[in-house]
Amino acid sequence: MPYYIRLMKMEDTALVSEIDREAFPTMKMPTNFENELNNCLAHYIVACDKKGSGNTNIIGVGGLWILVGEAHIVNIAVQPEYRRQGIGELLLISLIELALEFNCSLITLEVRASNNIAQNLYLKYGFTVRGFRRGYYTDNREDATVMTVDSINKALFSELYIRLKKEYYIKNGCSKIQLSTSL
């Protein structure tokens, strides 16, 4: 597989901010990744292209907040020219792995009501729509759709997740997904 995932480092923040701004251009308050790296609740990963070097090969980012047994996905973004190649899915799998490693039972997130692409990704991984936050996004007062997986440590999710991971490995010719930096 031409990509890998690792934990985000301070020297990545400029590039990651660019990816974030490009993915969410209308956000009035872009994520401050320096602050996020100093936030003990936050855990960020980056997807890298094996062809590049240093930290110039970052092509995607994903973030998770862990709060008393609950994981909150705060963002997933892939550079436009790298989309539709399984990188968003790889980031989501890696965030789920992190949530499992932290013994979370629930994963939740907000996504724009109009963002069918991201919702498709989450639906594929067993997230269900739990409700809406009216006017949640301050740029255009768009509603957020709240999506959740309730029991990531229970058989129902595990079976789906293991099957999807296996399909992902076969499709992308990899044997397993591993964060290249341990927690």
Minimum CB–partner distance for residue 9 and ligand COA (Å):
21
Q: What is the dihedral of CA 127, 130, 131, 132, to 10 degrees?
A: -30
70 is catalytic: no
Site residues (CB under 6 A) for ligand COA?
23, 75-78, 83-89, 111, 115, 117-118, 120-121, 124
- Of 100 and 121, CB closest to ligand COA: 121
Cβ atoms within 10 Å of 83's Cβ, excluding its own: 15
| Closer by beta carbon to ligand COA, 140 or else 182 | 140
- Is residue 3 part of the annotated active site? The answer reads no
Minimum CB–partner distance for residue 82 and ligand COA (Å): 7
Give the C-alpha separation, 111 to 145, whole Å.
5
- Residues ≥6 apart with Cβ < 8 Å to 89: 121, 124, 168
Q: Shortest Cβ distance from residue 41 to ligand COA (Å)?
A: 18
Phi, psi dihedrals of residue 78, rounded to the nearest 5°: -125, 140
In terms of Cα–Cα distance, which of 125, 118, 117, 120 is closest to 163? Answer: 125
Catalytic residue among 70, 110, 142, 169: 110
Question: Which member of 44, 122, 125, 137 is catalytic?
Answer: 122
Closer to ligand COA by CB, 61 or 152: give it.
61
Two tokens, residue 118:
């991201």
Position of minimal CB gap to ligand COA: 88
Our CB check for ligand COA shows the closer of 103 and 178 to be 178
Q: Tokens 């341990």 — which residue?
A: 182
Least distance in Å: CB of 78 to ligand COA?
Answer: 4
Q: Distance between the two ends of the chain, CA-based, in angstroms? A: 23
- Positions marked catalytic: 110, 122
